[in-house]
Amino acid sequence: MTAGRPVPIHPLLLAAYAVLFLYASNLGEADVGQVVPVLLVVVAVVGVLLVGGGLVLRDAGRAAVLLSASVALFFGYRHVQILTADLPVAGRPIQLVWVALGLGALVLAWKGGRALRTATRALNAVGLGLVAVALMTIVPHELGQLGRAEPSQVPVAPAPPPAAGGMRDIWFLVFDRYGSAESLRLNYGIEERLSPWLAEQGFHVTSDAYANYSRTRLSLASVLNLDYLDALPRGTSVAELLRNHAAGRFLVGLGYRYIHIGSRYGPTQTSVLATVNRTLNDTSEFASALFHSTLGPVIVRLTGGLDTRRQLQLDWARFELDALTRTLAEPGPKFVFAHLLLPHPPYVFDEHGQVVPDEADARRSTAQAYEAQMRYLDTRIQALLDPLLALPEGERPIVVVTADEGPYPARYEGNPLIQGPDPDFDWTSVTDDELRIKFGIIHAMLLPGVDASDVPRTMTAVNTFRFLFQRYYGADLPLLPDRILVPTADGGNRDVAGRLGVVP
């Protein structure tokens, strides 16, 4: 470098920003432990390309300009595509912008001199500014997590008395966004057929069951810890509540083997309590989400592959469904927990379990795609339960078939860039039907040895394990008042149970 020439660090900063932006948009959904390795790998790869380009061109400044343009294209393509989807400039005009960006980088690299030095300083400043903006969101969040409760401080369920008559296996099966009959009728105009079949097999079906929260992590953390989140120790992270939950500690303390069937959703991929953790691989959901937000999926499709998100859904769905089937032969007493992102999108299956190609999937309506995936899931659930239902009454397990939340109403679909619901959705404007769609869930329990008259007619998800531990183990866990909580602008929650006819 000659005197006065700025060090071109902007490709590294832009690459870091791509990772940090996704994390800042998904605080609470991703874990910093997932983010840091991805950040280091991305920056290291760009760093190697920068050094290699500098050696080839014999000028790091020229290589950096070309590399920054490539980084912007690779990591920004999907962002710009989504942000401009409803604008007149969508499609070819945007593609022309990318061409112009590339040509501009080529011109700067070719000219060099003062223009390149000025551009380098400007790009360095822009990169530093973007990283700083992302960190202004991330750092306060992470500092707030420093005082979180350690696992030993997370509340545990009361120690139960010795179980009389042996301990039945427990299967707790959570099917993501499997709505109640009313939810699916209102949102998609389709019929929910699994609950009637479950009722015929002796399950107690709560027809008007509701989740207590609108998001997976909040809903499952509440259910697995037998309480509302505002009643748990302040500072306890939701991720910790999912990995080290009261229901698991209660059952492990009784002597159960805890078999955890991991999902592609990071917080439920493993549990520190589990005797056995079964997962497909170690690729974090954050790494997958980052790749999907880039130009990478476009390249994969052009080379004939399945859309990466749909391929990920396919691989994990097949793994979990097959892992559950294999678990039938495991010795007991066992507690089996599985969180399956089905019928949750992406929609990859038809009603027979065949993979729907990307092109055919694009021609389906959301209702058609959801129904097909749900119908296939129903057949797999029935096949899993058949051997359990065939057992003698004294050996039958306790089985809970439920969901964490209902499907998204149209207005709550969210921003596909951040893979989640709209963070700015105005819950003060939500209609009663939208509440029924989002919070209505399938909920059925096989309760061998329990009289049907002892089962509450209505019950929200938070009371599931309270009821089970009370009935089967004599635990002093009275049912909680039913609350249905929607987020408010000030970060709190508002109970809307009364609007749905749920009496606390």
pLDDT reported for residue 418: 40
DSSP 243-296: HS-HHHHHHHHHT-EEEEE--SSGGGS--TT-SEEE-S-S--HHHHHHHHTSSH
- Report pLDDT digits (tens) over 241-289: 899 999 999 999 999 999 999 998 888 989 999 999 998 875 666 777 7
DSSP 299-359: HHHHTT---HHHHHHHHHHHHHHHHHHHHTTS-SSEEEEEEE--SSSS--B-TTSPBPPHH
Find where tokens 């937000």 sit.
Answer: 293
Other C-beta atoms closer than 10 Å to the C-beta of 3 total: 4
pLDDT reported for residue 480: 94
How is residue 20 written in tokens?
């940090």
Instruction: Share the mean pLDDT of the chain.
Output: 84
Find where tokens 């079964």 sit.
Answer: 278
Alpha-carbon distance of 375 to 353, in angstroms, equals 9
- Report pLDDT digits (tens) over 146-176: 555 445 455 555 555 555 456 899 999 999 9
Res. 419: pLDDT tops 50: no
What kind and span of H or E run contains 189? none
- Report pLDDT digits (tens) over 434-466: 999 999 999 999 999 888 888 888 889 999 999
For residue 91, what are the β-bridge partners?
none
Other C-beta atoms closer than 10 Å to the C-beta of 323 total: 18
Closest CA to 408 of 184, 182, 83: 184
Q: CA 260, 261, 264: angle at the middle one, nearest 5?
A: 125
**Average pLDDT value for residue range 117-130:** 86
Angle between helices 366-389 and 181-188 (to 10 degrees): 160
Minimum mean pLDDT range among 77-86, 108-117, 267-276, 435-444:
77-86
Find where tokens 């948009």 sit.
Answer: 25
Q: Report the 3 state secondary structure along 372-438.
A: HHHHHHHHHHHHHHHHHHCCCHHHCCEEEEECCCCCCCHHHCCCHHHCCCCCCCCHHHCCHHHHHHH
What kind and span of H or E run contains 487? strand 485-487
> Domains in the chain, please, with CATH?
10-145 (no CATH), 151-500 (3.40.720.10)
pLDDT reported for residue 1: 45
The proportion of the chain whose per-residue pLDDT surpasses 90, expressed as a percent, equals 44
pLDDT reported for residue 10: 87
**Average pLDDT value for residue range 167-194:** 96
pLDDT reported for residue 417: 44
pLDDT reported for residue 298: 72
- Report pLDDT digits (tens) over 276-305: 999 887 566 677 777 777 777 777 666 666
Closest CA to 497 of 457, 443, 460, 455: 460
- Report pLDDT digits (tens) over 93-104: 555 665 666 666
